[in-house]
């Protein structure tokens, strides 16, 4: 029992705004550097060094942007919904900030996935857009992100806005497995999984490693962007607290 109580104390201490802000200041630069290195290698390896695909030719190279963006659209919403669960059950202010701060970043990756998918679809399918199961469910995901953003701006009280955003995030999370499994559940023009499928990926190693590097790099960029946005949100919400005043004074010095 004592051990369990100690663990919960550690959890709440880490979730306190000043403790998180100090931790974020240490980790954000490291995440930024790791993201730049990983994305840099992924872009060079994918757009320059990887051989052309034997079926799609040079057009396949858009996957080095499209696939990481699509993965991050799902990861971002899952992270947002997880934070919403914590915020609603335990009413932790930090989790509320994560919900509202992750939405614009996740929406950007979702929009990027849709745009690059359309550019890829034109030479592959002969059309920029079709009402395919994967594309339609991904579009719904973008609308869910935008709904969270709009809700957050509709309330004057930030905590009320965060709770409303959290409820929408939890309701909308049902769309995440629909996006992921849509190519398996329905007849779809979108190709099936080639990297994440069980067994050996259907992609050569010299194409796979840059793609994985881009994906991890985009994930670290997502973490960096959300952390920095959460820091700004905390400063805004806690602007009258003593720890924020002390931090502002340290900058003046």
Q: What 3-state class would DSSP assign to 187?
A: coil
- pLDDT tens for the chain, 253 residues long, are 445 544 566 666 677 899 999 999 999 999 999 999 999 999 999 999 988 887 777 878 999 999 999 999 999 999 999 999 999 998 899 999 999 999 999 999 999 999 999 998 888 778 888 888 888 999 999 999 999 999 999 999 999 999 999 999 999 999 999 998 876 765 565 555 555 554 555 677 888 999 999 999 999 999 999 999 999 999 999 988 888 888 887 765 5
**Mind listing the pLDDT tens digit for each residue in 82-97?**
999 999 998 899 999 9
Q: What is the pLDDT of residue 51?
A: 86
How buried is residue 235: exposed, middle or buried, by Cβ count under 10 Å (0-12/13-18/19+)? Answer: middle
Q: What is the pLDDT of residue 204?
A: 79
57 bridge partner residues: 53
Cβ-count burial 8-28 (b if 16+ within 10 Å, e if not):
eeeeeeeeebeebbeebeeeb
- Structure token digits, residue 232: 């700004």
Q: What is the pLDDT of residue 196?
A: 52
Q: What is the pLDDT of residue 42?
A: 96
């Amino acid at each position: 029992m004592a051990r369990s109580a100690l663990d919960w104390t550690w959890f709440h201490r880490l979730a306190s705004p000043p403790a998180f802000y100090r931790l974020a200041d240490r980790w954000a630069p490291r995440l930024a550097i790791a993201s730049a290195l990983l994305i840099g290698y992924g872009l060079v390896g994918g757009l320059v060094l990887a051989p052309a695909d034997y079926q799609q030719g040079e057009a396949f190279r858009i996957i080095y942007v499209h696939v990481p963006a699509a993965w991050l659209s799902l990861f971002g919403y899952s992270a947002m919904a997880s934070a919403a669960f914590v915020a609603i059950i335990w009413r932790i202010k930090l989790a509320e900030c994560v919900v509202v701060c992750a939405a614009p970043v996740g929406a950007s990756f979702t929009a990027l996935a849709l745009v690059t998918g359309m550019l890829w679809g034109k030479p592959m399918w002969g059309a920029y857009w079709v009402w395919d199961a994967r594309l339609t469910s991904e579009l719904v995901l973008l609308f869910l992100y935008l709904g969270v953003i709009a809700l957050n701006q509709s309330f004057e009280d930030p905590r009320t806005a965060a709770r409303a955003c959290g409820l929408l995030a939890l309701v909308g999370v049902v769309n995440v497995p629909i996006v992921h499994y849509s190519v398996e559940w329905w007849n779809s023009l979108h190709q099936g999984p080639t990297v994440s499928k069980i067994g050996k990926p259907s992609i050569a190693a010299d194409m796979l490693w840059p793609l994985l590097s881009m994906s991890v790099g985009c994930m670290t960029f997502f973490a960096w962007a959300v952390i920095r946005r959460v820091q700004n949100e905390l400063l805004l919400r806690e602007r009258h607290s003593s720890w924020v005043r002390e931090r502002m004074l340290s900058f003046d010095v």
